[in-house]
Chain A
C-alpha cells in the first residue's frame, strides 16, 4: 500500500479541508470496499480521510417526518437500531444480505451507495423507500434522490470534492411497508443475480395508494421502475396488476450475461422477485407471517 497519510477529522469542515489538502485522498467509511481495492491495486489513495469520527456521518435520527441515517453508520448498527428495522423492514433485509457478519460490522449504507456496484443490495431498498442523499461540498449542500446518485458501474454523481453525509428517508405513514428480495446461487456470502425492492401504501380496503419498485443487478445501476409502481396503484394487488408490474420490470431490465446468470435468466428472475416482494410487503402490512 502506498498510503502516506491518515486523518480522522471531527467535523465536516475539517474533513473538507483534509480531503482538499490530500491531493489524491479517499474517504473511508467502513473500508470493506476501499481496503480491498487498495489490496487488489484498483485504488491507490495517498491520503485516507476517515469519516467515522464525524457526528453527522455516524448518527441515526428519527424525526417527525423523516429518518436520517449517517452515511458511515455500519449495517450492524442500523440493523440493531430499535426503530430503523421496524420502519423499513425491506431495507433491513437488504442490509442483512451484505457480506458476512464481519462485513456488516463495518460496511455502511453510504459506502454501499458510493461503491456504486450494479448489484448493491441496499440501493433498490433505498430507492423503494424514496431515500435522498444529502451531499456536502465546498460549494455547499445539495439533496438528490438515491436513484440519481449512481450513474453507472462504480460511478456516482458526487463531484471529486463532495461527500455523502447522510441518507434521508421519509417517515412511513399509514398502512405501508416494504420488502427486498434477491437471488444468489448460494444462500450467503454472495452477490445478487437480481434484486428487487418494493414499497407499498394501501388504504383500509387494501387498495394500493402508492408504490415504488426498484431493481438491482439487471442494469448498469439500480433502476427505479416507475411503470411497475404505477401498475399497482389503484389495484388491490390482484394477480393481473402484479403481472403488469412484472412485465414493466422485465421491460426495464438491461442485464449482462456473466458467471452468475445469463441476461435472459436475470430478466426472468427479476420479475419473479418483484412479484414476491410485492406479496411480501403486502403481507407485512396485513400483519401476516413472513416466510
Chain B
C-alpha cells in the first residue's frame, strides 16, 4: 500500500547539473521538483495543465510539469526557473518583469519567466500578438497581462541589442 515501496530512481540533468531522485510511479514532475528536489520555484496552481504556473523546459520544450510524470524525466534534461538567472545575475526577462511591474502576488511569475524564455529562444523578435498567444497558457490573476507582455517585448529588444556588437 505504501507508495514509497515502489519508488523508482530517476536520473536527470536539471539546470545543467546531474540530479538523481526517487519518484513514485504516479507522481507528477511538479511534485517531485518541489518535494524531492526542493526546487520550489516551480509553482503548482491547477494541477490540470490550465494555468502554466508549473511551466518548465523538458528537453527545451515548454511543458506543464504537472502533466509530466516524474519517471518520464529519466535520462532527460530539465530547466526550471532556478536555472534562468546566471551567476546571480537576473535574466533580462526577470529584470524587465521587475522594471515593468509585471508581477504582483508572484505565483504565476516563475512559469511566465520560463515560458517567456522558451518564446525568446524560439523567436527572438516576437510581435505582441505572438507573445500573447505563446503566453496564453500562463494565467495571471493580478496584472491583467499588459505589463507582462510589455516586459517580455522589452526583454526581447534588450537581448537583440546585446546580440549585435
Chain A residues within 8 Å of B, Cβ to Cβ: 1-6, 8, 28, 30-32, 35-36, 38-40, 48, 50, 52, 74, 76-77, 99-103, 105-106, 188-189
Contacts and interface: CB of A to CB of B under 8 A. Distances in A.
9 contacts: A4-B25, A6-B8, A36-B49, A48-B26, A99-B137, A101-B115, A101-B118, A101-B136, A102-B63
Nearest to A50: B72
B64 A102 contact: yes
Contact size class for B? 20 to 34
Interface stretch (B54-62, B79-87, B95-103, B150-158): B54-62
B92 interface: no
Contact of A100 (B25, B52, B71): B52
A278 B6 CA distance: 54
A32 B67 contact: yes
A188 B129 CA distance: 12
A1, A40, A77, most chain B CB atoms within 10 A: A1
B52 A48 contact: no
A6 to B, nearest CB: 4
Given A5-B6, A36-B67, A99-B137, 20 more contacts: A3-B25, A4-B6, A4-B25, A6-B69, A6-B71, A8-B72, A30-B67, A35-B67, A35-B69, A39-B47, A48-B25, A50-B69, A74-B61, A76-B62, A100-B52, A101-B62, A101-B119, A102-B64, A105-B61, A106-B61
A189 B136 contact: yes
A18 to B, nearest CB: 13
Interface of B: 6, 8, 24-28, 47-50, 52, 55, 58, 61-64, 66-69, 71-72, 74, 115, 118-119, 133-138
B52 to A, nearest CB: 6
A237 to B, nearest CB: 30
A3 B49 contact: no
B61 to A, nearest CB: 4
Contacts of A30: 67
Contact of B137 (A4, A40, A101): A101
A31 B52 contact: no
Contacts of A76: 61-62
B6, B8, B26, B58, most chain A CB atoms within 10 A: B26
A182 to B, nearest CB: 15
A61 B149 CA distance: 38
A245 B109 CA distance: 48
B137 A39 contact: no
B115 to A, nearest CB: 7
Contacts of B55: 102
A103 B58 CA distance: 12
A5 B50 CA distance: 26
A4 B7 CA distance: 9
Given A5-B6, A188-B133, A189-B137, A105 B72 contact: no
Contact of B49 (A1, A103, A188): A103
Nearest to A77: B61
A231 to B, nearest CB: 34
A105 B58 contact: yes
Contacts of A38: 26
A32 to B, nearest CB: 5
A99 B49 contact: yes
| A-B residue pairs, 6 tightest by C-beta | A100-B137, A3-B26, A1-B26, A6-B25, A188-B136, A105-B61
